Structure formats: structure tokens, C-alpha cells
Amino acid sequence: MSIRTAPSTPIPDELASPRAKLVYLYLTTTREATIDELQTGLGLPKIALYTIVRTLRERELVEKDGEQVTLRK
């Protein structure tokens, strides 16, 4: 019996916060999500998500257009 696993996605070294890592990993599976979708999917408060997304944008890991957050390639 073989178990299939998804290829591992490396987490950028500059992400120290567990919550930032969680949002980044979530986006690696969805490629894009709204703040509301992140809140529902991860159970994090919106205020925290806005701060995390700002950090991810500053590190050029994601792009944000309105409420839509997209993982940069």
C-alpha cells in the first residue's frame, strides 16, 4: 500500500511568525483567497490577517488587489 503526499512547499526563511507561515501555506494550496476566505479557512481574526498579509506583501510573497490575496510566482 502506498501513500501519496503532496510535494512539500518550502517556507521562506524570512517568515518567523507561525501565523504568517500558516497563511503562506494556505495560499500555496489555493493560489488566491479573499480575506474572508482566509478567515473562514484558517479561523484567524481579520485584523490579524490584514497585518499578516501586509507583512507578506512587504516581503514580496503575495499581491493584494482589494480583498483578493494572490501568491506571487
Residue ranges making up the domain that contains 51: 18-71
Structural domain includes residue 5 = no
Structural domain includes residue 65 = yes
Q: What is the pTM of this model?
A: 0.85
Structural domain includes residue 48 = yes
* pLDDT tens by residue, 2-50: 555 555 678 998 999 999 999 999 999 999 999 999 999 999 999 999 9
Torsion of Cα atoms, 51 then 54 then 58 then 59, to 10°:
70
CATH of the domain at 49: 1.10.10.10
Structural domain includes residue 38 = yes
Structural domain includes residue 10 = no
Structural domain includes residue 35 = yes
* Domains contained in the chain, number: 1
Q: Cα angle vertex 35, ends 34, 36, to 5°?
A: 90
Structural domain includes residue 45 = yes
